[in-house]
Amino acid sequence: PRAIWLTRHGESEYNTQERIGGDSGLTHQGDEYAHALGDWVQNHDKHKDNFVVWTSTMKRSIATAQYINNHKVNLQALDEIDAGICDGMTYDEIASAMPEEYAARAANKLRYRYPHGESYVDVIQRLEPVLFEMEREKYPILIVAHQAVIRALYAYFMDIDAEECPYIPIAMHTVYELVPKAYGCNNIYNKSAV
Ligand code: F6P
């Protein structure tokens, strides 16, 4: 693609409660971001009709893209890291109810797999077919997904070491633009502000 835009979904009910996972809807602030994102696409006059929009299958991502009129696809591979038995908990609740799990994740966030859930390594692996499709896509792509998924995609395109991937700061209510480098190797993108 000529450019890739990455964004997390707008603020969800669970975000405000600091709960992980779940499938909650957007808050008022999150809905305002969805509107801003719709306006942002409309104001991108050069590309606006050619954008393809890929979201996860979760309510909060679909709702974040709801004011964009372009072609949209919902992909399960873009769903947030599955926190398994910890889904719906806060980090504090996990630390007190399952201190060993909490410590194991802190010790190796990249490889730690939530019981009945996923690790970052699992997420990186399930994104491989998406990356393959992204490389083939000729139109600019806007991806609306989740913190761990955006970290994994960002790390891939920015050539950031996998060990660092789980710690990359990805701000909410922000679009990250990745532009292919003119003389770069494969998969090396520059980041530019939007
Ligand atoms: O808190 C939002 C969230 O998307 C959770 O659903 C998810 O478990 C978490 O972020 C991933 O971030 P981290 O790997 O830092 O816990």
For 129-150, how does the pLDDT look when each residue is reduced to its tens digit (9 = 90+)? Answer: 999 999 899 889 999 999 999 9
Looking at the predicted structure, is the pLDDT value of residue 58 above 80?
yes
The preferred substitution site among 59, 81, 111 for testing ligand 1, maximizing ligand atoms within 8 Å of CB, is 81
pLDDT of 44: 80
Looking at the predicted structure, is the pLDDT value of residue 99 above 90?
yes
The preferred substitution site among 59, 61, 147 for testing ligand 1, maximizing ligand atoms within 8 Å of CB, is 147
pLDDT band at 188 (very low <50, low <70, confident <90, very high): very low
pLDDT of 43: 86
Looking at the predicted structure, is the pLDDT value of residue 96 above 70?
yes
Residue 185 token pair: 């190797």
Positive or negative: CA dihedral 134, 63, 92, 85: negative
Catalytic positions, written as ranges: 8-9, 15, 60, 80, 146
- Find tokens 């990249």 and name the residue: 110
pLDDT band at 163 (very low <50, low <70, confident <90, very high): very high
Strand partners, 4: 141, 178
The average pLDDT across 22-38 equals 96
> 132 burial class (0-12, 13-18, 19+ CB within 10 angstroms)?
exposed
Residue type, 63: A
pLDDT of 186: 37
pLDDT above 70 covers a percentage of the chain that reads 90
Distance CA 5, CA 25 (A): 22
Close Cβ partners of 184 (under 8 Å, ≥ 6 residues apart): none
Distance CA 45, CA 38 (A): 13
Which ipTM value was assigned to this complex?
0.99
Task: Specify the pTM.
Answer: 0.93
Say yes or no: CB of residue 146 within 6 Å of ligand 1. yes
Distance CA 110, CA 125 (A): 12
